[in-house]
Amino acid sequence: MSALLPREFAGLEPFAVKWCLPTEHERYGTRLASTMEEMQAFYDAVVPRAEDAMAYIERLPFDALPEDATNLLHLLYSMIEVSFPVEVWRQPKVPDSGSSTFDCDIEPAP
């Protein structure tokens, strides 16, 4: 299997297939389908590398990111998606939200 992430971030590769997701809808669905233990492990692995990942991406032309860098960006978006459940709520769903939903109409680029 070929790597999804830049080689500098090979340590995050075990999380790539599950969390390198291009849309908010996919990231949110994966968050809801994940256990707190899975999200905590993902969060704990990505957060220490997040600044390095952002610096890596910022060196590249944003309108022409290579696929591995785009995957790294999607991984960062997923880390943001799980941050509140991990840091604050201690559960995948927004507390006291019942059956309400929020749909993203516009995705960040890329």
Contact (Cβ atoms closer than 8 angstroms) between residue 80 and residue 16: no
pTM of this prediction exceeds 0.95: no
Give the integer Cα–Cα distance in Å for 84 and 91: 9
pLDDT classification of 110: cutoffs 50, 70, 90: low
Cα-trace Rg, the chain: 14
Task: Indicate the average pLDDT of the chain.
Answer: 88
The token pair at 52 is 């390095």
> Could you identify the residue written with the tokens 């516009």?
106
Dist CA 80 CA 78 (whole Å): 5
- Whether 9 has a pLDDT exceeding 70, the answer reads yes
Q: State mean pLDDT over 88-103.
A: 64
Q: Domain map of the chain by residue range?
A: 13-89
SS3 40: helix
